[in-house]
Amino acid sequence: MKSWDAIVVGGGIIGLSLAISLRKHGLRVLVVERGQPGGEASSAAAGMLVGSGLESPPALKPLSKESARMYPEFVHELEDESGMKVDLRDQGTILVSPEADLPDWAELIPPNRLQAFEPELVSTSSAAYVAERSVDPRALSAASLKAARHHGVDISSGTEVTAVLTSGDRVTGIETDKTTYPAGTVVNCAGAWAGCVGRLKFPIRPVKGQMLALVGSPALKHVVRAHNIYLVPRSDGRLVIGSTLEDAGYNKQTSPDTIQQLLQDALELVPRLAEAKIHDDWAGLRPATPDALPILGQTAVQGYFVASGHYRDGILLAPVTAQLVTELVLGKPSIHDLTPFSPARFG
């Protein structure tokens, strides 16, 4: 019977990138995914790589910065190993906001230069440029799945983990809706559902975000972010618009009124979007914690780790999370202080 050194619960971008990293360090890895790998938050995201950590708690900034730095290499390897394109764009982001709200380190765009920068954007009194990238999360998830298989990671899709098995204070494997799998290391990467896996509970809740994509819109070069809305262009011509922040439990339905409101807000920034058509709309569930920081580390059960709760930054934080959690699993020291992310902080 086949056996594994590590089992990763959840095949989102966090689980897949961790699985690849563990496998590259020689571990035999199984990913157990209830639905389709990448089918939840990791495919719903906008894909902005906010390396400045602009909207995140200060404790997250060093990891955000480091992960943004790692991204080009991370994508390059995935593209190489999967043979797929991931659409990492580095045209940068324009922040549109009252001047007092713009970060002082961002490069102010003089009003008379804004049209030259992004011709379709409505003239506005204050905007700034930040050198942040974006990525297509669906392409990223698909490439990660293919790269994981390429490396020999085993993937069990359509399999729900129903319990984390322990003996004394050590993890011994997992139970699924079909069978049990033994392993000395288990990592909970179940995103917004991480608090429901096994007996150890973590205060992770789903925060719903609704999004839509337009086709046939005038091409934007940059990501555009205002206080209530963001517009993220893809290289295939789609324009992704988002998003809401809703406490709606595990409900992933979109509401026509909300989608229309997002479109209306986008039209105020780029009036010529009126010529575009809605291609599709969707909602995803961000895994949120009470302090808006991810949970990264070993639990009170030896060999049982958590890598979840990445809230609005899980696409950005995938490379650094994979590296840090690999170090933890292998018992290697880290240059980062992970105390703020410890599972123990919630008691």
> CB of residue 138 vs ligand FAD: minimum separation in angstroms?
11
* Closest by CA position to 106, among listed 122, 90, 126: 126
d(CA 29, CA 10): 13
Residue position matching structure tokens 């809740």: 205
> CB of residue 247 vs ligand FAD: minimum separation in angstroms?
13
> Given candidates 51, 53, 173, 209, which one binds ligand FAD under the rule CB under 6 A?
209
- Site membership for ligand FAD, residue 301 (CB under 6 A): no
> Given candidates 82, 243, 298, 326, which one binds ligand FAD under the rule CB under 6 A?
243
> CB of residue 194 vs ligand FAD: minimum separation in angstroms?
7
Residue 235 token pair: 């290289």
Q: Which of residues 223-242 bind ligand FAD (CB under 6 A)?
A: 242
- Site membership for ligand FAD, residue 161 (CB under 6 A): yes
d(CA 133, CA 149): 27
Q: Name every residue whose Cβ is closer than 8 Å to that of residue 324 and which is 6 or more positions away in sequence.
A: 63, 296, 334, 336, 338
Strands 170-176 and 161-167 come out as antiparallel
> CB of residue 211 vs ligand FAD: minimum separation in angstroms?
5
Q: Which is nearer to ligand FAD, 114 or 161 (CB)?
A: 161
d(CA 135, CA 45): 10
Q: Is 191 helix (H, G, I), strand (E, B) or coil?
A: helix
End-to-end Cα, the chain, rounded Å = 38
> Given candidates 211, 229, 322, 324, which one binds ligand FAD under the rule CB under 6 A?
211
- Site membership for ligand FAD, residue 160 (CB under 6 A): yes
Q: Which of residues 33-62 bind ligand FAD (CB under 6 A)?
A: 33-35, 39-42, 44-48
Residue 111: φ, ψ to 5°: -50, -35
Q: Which of residues 13-32 bind ligand FAD (CB under 6 A)?
A: 13-15, 32
> CB of residue 79 vs ligand FAD: minimum separation in angstroms?
19
d(CA 272, CA 231): 13
Binding mask 313-332 for ligand FAD (x = CB under 6 A): xxxx----------------
CB-based contact 213:33 (threshold 8 Å) = no
* Residue numbers at the binding site for ligand FAD (CB under 6 A): 9-15, 32-35, 39-42, 44-48, 160-161, 189-193, 197, 209, 211, 242-243, 284-287, 308, 310-316
